[in-house]
Structure 1
Amino acid sequence: MREPVIWEIPLPEITLDEVFQAEGANYSQRPPHPRTVKLHQQIIEEAASLVRPTAIWVEVDVKGTGVGELILEDGFKLTSNLLPNVAGTAEKMLLISTTIGSAIEDRLTEYKEAGKMSEAFALDACATAYVAKAGTIAMSRVEEAYHRKGLKTTFPMGPGHSYWKGLEDMQVIFHFLRAERIGLHLNDSNLIVPRKSVAMVMGVGHNLPDFKGKTHCHFCSLQKTCPMSQAV
């Protein structure tokens, strides 16, 4: 196992439409009220001053597969029916976690305690859009590094989705990542703290199945009803 690598991610740009989408809002039939637009533009500016995107990732050996599981080095396993199909022939698994830090979470708490729920709702959506984009940037950067070496990569997958419901596997991912180095830990429910953080895995190797442009969203039961399915 290699030492985890830490990257500072450049601040992504998020749009008003992406924030509305993260809220689950649909303005296709009528435009948002000007007051709504003004509030969200202000909150986007505030969010940009609070976000600190950071990623940590590590390469782990794949030792084999079982029924609904992928076996890693040191006897650790990841349990999802999708993993053996997508990454069963991978030589390595790349474990990656991305966060935008805790400052935006602190500000959310302040808004809620002050009863400013519209501001809190908009800021939470901004945070969701930011962490989604930061995660995509980190994943793309890792992919490019391996593609330059002539290796293939799978699409990223993560615990907590319908194709991988076992959040206990977050313990395995964090065992290898040592993500406390960027201020991350798991709570008693195996959710990442700070909340606006994500963890994904991706297979790498010479002989991987071709899923022809599919992403993990194609294997999720939410499909296009997910508010973030078009956000990145």
Structure 2
Amino acid sequence: MMTDLKQVAKYLGYGSHVPEEKTMADMVSIANALEKSVRAGWTYGNYILEQDETGPVILADTAVELHGKSIKRTLKNCKEVYIMACTLGAKGDRLIELEKMMSTTQGMIADACASVLVEAYADLCQKEIEAKLPEGSTLTFRYAPGYGDLPLATNKEILELLKAEKRIGIHLTDSMLMTPRKSIVAILGVLENKEYKGKNHRCGNQSCDECELSDGCPARN
């Protein structure tokens, strides 16, 4: 099973506790149904970075500008970057809606399972990217628009650059929501010689104390 049920339990608010038997059985059943029905897809591209001390980080020869202190800090040691988009596809959304019709609880479980599953597919995409890196290089952690002070509107520029709607069916609404809902856009800087890349908080910070969102961050260690 690709879906990490421990992570699903965390999404549902159980923390490190094991859910009761009925909930666990529903988690397994719904996760299996998702994995059998979805047709996940991803796409990505590699770009040279242009950055200075004062302006935004720019993907050379594109219209993409990455604004914000946090993404600038994440990519400060990077000369190039990969951008990626990944989705479970429309069948994932439909299954979640069907489970909601059965019960609110099953809808919540389906939503959590889908969130964990799309991250698992994003991991596969990242592994494919890592296989293309020169020996000794590594990637920063996935950083998504809307996290920290990187504007959510950055998704529009990235999805257009990747031609994600044509390639894998991701559409961005006027309110900047992605459809299918279980889709991910991420930025991964390339670090040479395995430079330190920070903790796995998707922000690249070495400590939660550096982050203005630390008080309410669900990924805080």
Measured against the shorter chain, the TM-score band is 0.7 to 0.9
Q: Please, what TM-score do these two structures have when normalized by structure 2? A: 0.82
Superposition deviation, residue 14 in structure 1: 1.7
Q: Match of 1:63?
A: 50
Tell me the SS of whatever aligns to 2:24.
helix
1:95 counterpart (68, 73, 83): 83
Tell me if 1:203 matches 2:214.
no
Q: Secondary structure at the match of 1:216?
A: coil
Maintained 8 Å contact 2:34/2:95? no
Q: What stretches of structure 1 of length at least 5 have no aligned partner?
A: 1-11
Is 1:155 aligned to 2:141, yes or no? yes
* Post-superposition offset of 1:115: 4.8
Q: How does 1:35-46 map to 2 (within 5 A)?
A: 35-46=22-33
Matched, 1:23 2:9: no
Going from structure 1 to structure 2, the CA distance change for 1:212 and 1:147 (only over 3 Å counts) comes to: farther
Maintained 8 Å contact 1:70/1:88: no
Is residue 2:179 matched to residue 1:190? no
User: What is the rounded CA distance, in whole Å, between the counterparts of 2:79 and 2:50 in structure 1?
Assistant: 8
| Number of the residue aligned with 1:4 | none
By how many angstroms is 1:159 displaced?
0.9
Q: What is the total number of aligned residue pairs between the two structures?
A: 213
Query: 2-side partners of 1:26 and 1:92: how far apart?
Result: 37
Partner of 1:5: none
Q: 1:15 to 1:194 in 2, by over 3 A?
A: same
Q: Distance in 1 between matches of 2:155 and 2:202?
A: 17
Whether the aligned pair in 2 keeps the contact of 1:86 and 1:209 (CA below 8 Å) is no
Q: Which residue of 1 aligns with 2:105?
A: 118
Aligned to 2:133, which of 139, 143, 146? 146
Structure 2's unaligned 5+ residue stretches are 206-210
Give the superposition deviation at 1:15. Answer: 3.6
1:173 matched residue in structure 2: 158
Q: Deviations over 1:133-181 (max 9, x none)?
A: 1112211321232144x544333211111x2341111122112111011
Tell me the C-alpha RMSD between the 2 structures: 2.8
Is the contact made by 1:65 and 1:71 (CA closer than 8 Å) also made in structure 2?
no
Kept after mapping to 1: 8 A contact 2:47/2:82 = yes
Displacement after TM superposition at 1:97 (Å): 0.8
Q: Secondary structure at the match of 2:52?
A: strand
**Quick one: which amino acid aligns to residue 133 of structure 2?**
Y
Task: Return the alpha-carbon distance in structure 1 between the equivalents of residues 138 and 52 of structure 2.
Answer: 19
Q: Report runs of 4+ in structure 1 exceeding 6 Å deviation.
A: none
Give CA deviations for 1:191-214 in whole Å, capped at 9, x if unaligned: 221110111111226478533555
Q: Classify the secondary structure of the residue corresponding to 1:145.
A: coil
Contact 1:60–1:73, Cα closer than 8 Å, also in 2 = yes
Contact persistence 1:63–1:72 (CA under 8 A): yes
